[in-house]
Amino acid sequence: MIATRPADTADALEGGFTEAPIQSARAFREILEAMARPGTIRRVQGARPPEPLSVAAGVALLVLTDPTTRLHLAGRADCAEVRDWVAFHIGAPLTRAEEADFAVGTWEALHPVSRFRIGQPDYPDRSATLIVEVDRLVNHGPALTGPGIETATWLNLPETAAFRANRALFPLGFDTLFTAGDRIAGLPRSTRVEAI
């Protein structure tokens, strides 16, 4: 790929894992715990992606995406710096929302989320994973129940209606990772969400 702006190309080469096998293993373990225990907030490190991506979103992309996964950059995340960084460190083909295996952006930029793939009735795993950038993550807000949660927990979701509609599709539906700074939380399609 020929970079249009050489000055940015240097930046694009930075910010990946320096010791990929170890760093991705530690990061995946945090992501696994986050997804297996919806609502728990974990910390990840090792990536320095360009603005506007958070550290956690960069880590999630490095750990989970590669040339075999179609990636959708939404809103401000779809900028030259991020595209170059993804091209160098990940090599994931960029695509529109409807075809994406992974999508990253703010909740507003990802809307309407009903366009993302929800899997097929015989292959519900063929669905999108959304990496939603939020300002902060706190265990306060809508109540979460379901697999991975002993009784109930709470997480400051950007809204509840979309996640209730997503749960109603189970076993179809998209899965979500929320990222804020170096914090990450998971919300699989199996989680029941209730506004309180």
Partner 1 sequence: MTEHIEAGAYTFAYLDEQTKRMIRRAILKGIAVPGYQVPFASREMPMPYGWGTGGVQVTAACLVPEDRLKVIDQGADDTTNAVSIRRFFQRTAGVATTEATTEATVIQTRHRIPETPLKAGQILVYQVPIPEPLRFLEPRETETRKMHELEEYGLMHVKLYEDIARHGQIATSYAYPVKVEGRYVMDPSPIPRFDNPKLSGNPAIQLFGAGREQRIYALPPWTEVVSLDFDDHPFQTSKAPHDCDLCGAQDSYLDEVITDDQGGRMFVCSDTDFCEGRRAKGHAGRLGGDQKSSKTFANSFEGIWPGTEGAR
50: which DSSP letter? Answer: P
d(CA 96, CA 116): 9
> What is the x/- site pattern for partner 1, positions 35-74, by CB under 8 A?
xxx-------------------------xxxx-xx-----
Minimum separation from the CB atom of position 6 to partner 1 (A): 28
Q: How far apart are the first and last CA of the chain?
A: 50
**Does residue 32 touch partner 1 according to CB under 8 A?**
yes
| CA–CA gap between residue 99 and residue 48 (Å, rounded) | 27
Least distance from partner 1 to the Cβ atom of residue 76, Å: 26
The answer to whether residues 155 and 139 touch, using CB atoms and an 8 Å cutoff, is yes
Does position 25 bind partner 1 by CB under 8 A? yes
- Pick from 125, 140, 161, 196: which binds partner 1 (CB under 8 A)? 125
**Token couple for 99:** 């075809």
What 3-state DSSP class applies to 36?
A: helix
- The yes or no reply on residue 21 touching partner 1 (CB under 8 A) is yes
Which positions touch partner 1 (CB under 8 A)? Answer: 20-22, 24-26, 28-29, 31-33, 35-37, 63-66, 68-69, 121-125, 127, 129, 146-150, 170-171, 173, 175, 188-190
